[in-house]
């Protein structure tokens, strides 16, 4: 599990998402997760299946899971 506190009180968490295969997939996952309150940055990388999220505070895993599900993918957990 990777969760670290960054500068200015932000938290960076890396999640593993299965099923992403292209830039469109990355955009779908990023778009859904970015709608979670408190999220300031999302970077999805299809080739590794990793999604790096920067937020004001640690996110509720179920909220992230619901966002990834909404995008049509599966949250495998934290990297």
DSSP 39: E
DSSP 19: S
Q: Which range of residues forms the domain containing residue 40?
A: 3-78
pLDDT in tens, the chain (79 residues): 455 555 567 999 999 999 999 999 999 999 999 999 999 999 999 999 999 999 999 999 999 999 999 999 999 999 8
Measured CA to CA, the distance from residue 75 to residue 24 in angstroms comes to: 17
Q: What is the CATH number of the domain that holds 42?
A: 3.30.70.100
Position 53 scores a pLDDT of: 98
Measured CA to CA, the distance from residue 34 to residue 63 in angstroms comes to: 11
Domain total of the chain? 1
């Amino acid at each position: 599990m990777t969760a670290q506190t960054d500068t200015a009180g932000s938290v960076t968490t890396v999640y593993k998402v299965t099923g992403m295969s292209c830039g469109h997939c990355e955009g779908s996952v990023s778009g859904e997760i970015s709608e979670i309150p408190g999220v300031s940055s999302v970077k999805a990388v299809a080739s590794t299946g990793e999604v790096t999220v920067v937020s004001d505070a640690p996110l509720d895993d179920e909220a992230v899971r619901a966002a990834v599900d909404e995008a049509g993918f599966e949250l495998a957990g934290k990297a």
